[in-house]
Amino acid sequence: MRKKSLSVKKRNLKKTTFFLNQKFIKKIYNIFEKNVRGVDRSLVAISGGPDSLSLAFLAKCYSLIYPVKFNYALVDHRLRKDSNAEAKKVVKMLKKIGINCKILVWRGKKPKSNIQKIARDNRYSLLIKECEKFNGKSILLGHQMNDLHENFFLRMSRGSGLKGLTSLGKNSEFSNKKILRPLFNISKKDLEKLALAVFKTFIKDPSNNNDNFARVRIRRILELFSKEGLETKKINLTISNLKSASEALDFYAKKNIRDNTTYFKKTNLYFVNKNFFLNPEEVLLRSITVILNNLSGRHYAPRGKKISRLILLMSSQNKLEKTTLGGCVFEKIHKTVRISKE
């Protein structure tokens, strides 16, 4: 990919990329650039926290140096009375470095329980729809190294298997869009420093200090672990090793789907043959999860226990009445299983 001409670079980069002269910011930018190399026509997801503001700044620098197209969007969940004012403040902050950020509002009845999960699902839905409007290829999220660690220990506390422990990956795919997390190699502390250097401030979400949320409690535990000498490098190495094993299982899950299912695109349904169920349980879990996500369009599949119970029913009974799971309908017909969207 060719860089823009020197004259254009000098004219457009002066204010924004001035910060790249700072050694620590240049180091972060180099990591970001490596992680997004080749990316184009992407939506950058903003929240107003230091992670996403840093992501916006880095993406802007990249788009001024290389001929790529980034759109920017902030989801206002309307879960707090100050959320709209905060969203407008973030838009104003980004305007100062030449970013036009669109506010996407989550409308409708708000949940009283399981708030974070439901809010996250709606955020993904709004971002996907916005990305489709300009035929975007990918969505950039501000998840960083601390998020990776928190997710790992949160999943561990819930008794998750290998898939769950490594569920937050550097890159993934959903609804034909690539989900990219180019800040995965960077700590939250460094991103806070960057955001303050560029924007002088950032939005502090009060929910980050609310002990009613499990993620916040895990965060506090990790802070204690850090004081006791638990090294970041060792956590990263453990997650990396588990990730390699998980990728091997994903390979066999995809092979199982390729060899033992038939997909009818026109009617959007799968037929699963009897050999599908001859694989190890973990491969079956992943195979069903992929099918559920493909048919339902949801980013997250049901919990593993529910899928395991369904697999047991499908593989052990001669006849299975219609049953639903994860937005899909399962029906056993002779020795095959028909799976369709609900």
pLDDT tens by residue, 134-174:
999 899 999 999 888 888 888 888 888 888 888 777 777 77
**DSSP one-letter string for 218-264:** HHHHHHHHHHTT--HHHHHHHHHHHHHHHHHHHHHHHHHHHHHEEEE
What single DSSP character describes residue 139? E
Average pLDDT rounded to a whole number, residues 306-319: 79
Does residue 311 have a pLDDT over 90?
Answer: no
Nearest to 281 by CA among 233, 258, 249: 249
Q: What is the pLDDT of residues 63-112, one digit of tens each?
A: 988 989 899 999 998 888 888 899 999 999 999 899 999 999 988 787 77
Nearest to 77 by CA among 110, 112, 43: 110
Q: What is the pLDDT of residue 114?
A: 77
pLDDT at 10: 55
Say if residue 2's pLDDT is above 60: no
Largest CA distance in the chain: 72
Q: Examine the pLDDT at 297 and tell me if it is beyond 80.
A: no
The residues that bridge with 71 in the sheet, in sequence order, are: 43
Task: State mean pLDDT over 282-294.
Answer: 90
Q: How far apart are CA 286 and CA 252, in angstroms?
A: 9
Confidence of residue 8 (pLDDT cuts 50, 70, 90): very low
pLDDT of residue 7: 53
pLDDT over threshold 80, residue 301: no
Are 154 and 222 a contacting pair, CB within 8 Å?
no
Give yes or no for residue 262 having a pLDDT over 90. Answer: yes
| CATH number for region 245-341 | 1.20.59
Please tell me which residue, 263 or 213, carries the higher pLDDT value: 263
- The boundaries of every CATH 3.40.50.620 domain in the chain are 6-230
Instruction: Report whether pLDDT(265) > 90.
Output: no
List all residues 6 or more positions away from 288 whose beta carbon is below 8 Å from its beta carbon: 301, 307, 310, 311
Which of 44-48, 187-191, 302-306, 334-338 is predicted with the least confidence, judged by mean pLDDT? 302-306
Task: Give the Cα separation of 93 and 195 in Å (integer).
Answer: 11
Domain 6-230 annotated CATH 3.30.1390.10: no
Predicted local confidence at residue 206, as pLDDT? 72
Residue where the block lists tokens 């390979």: 251
pLDDT of residue 211: 72
| Contact of 16 with 57, CB cutoff 8 Å | yes
Distance from first CA to last CA of the chain, Å, rounded?
44
Query: What pLDDT, on the 0 to 100 scale, is given for residue 73?
Result: 96
In the chain, CATH 1.20.59 sits at 245-341
**Over the stretch 202-241, which tens digit does the pLDDT of each residue have?**
988 777 777 777 888 888 888 887 777 777 888 888 888 9
Query: How far apart are alpha carbons 291 and 266 in whole angstroms?
Result: 16
Q: Which of 289, 68, 297, 43 is nearest to 178 (CA)?
A: 43
Grouping H, G, I as helix, E, B as strand and the rest as coil, residue 339 is: strand
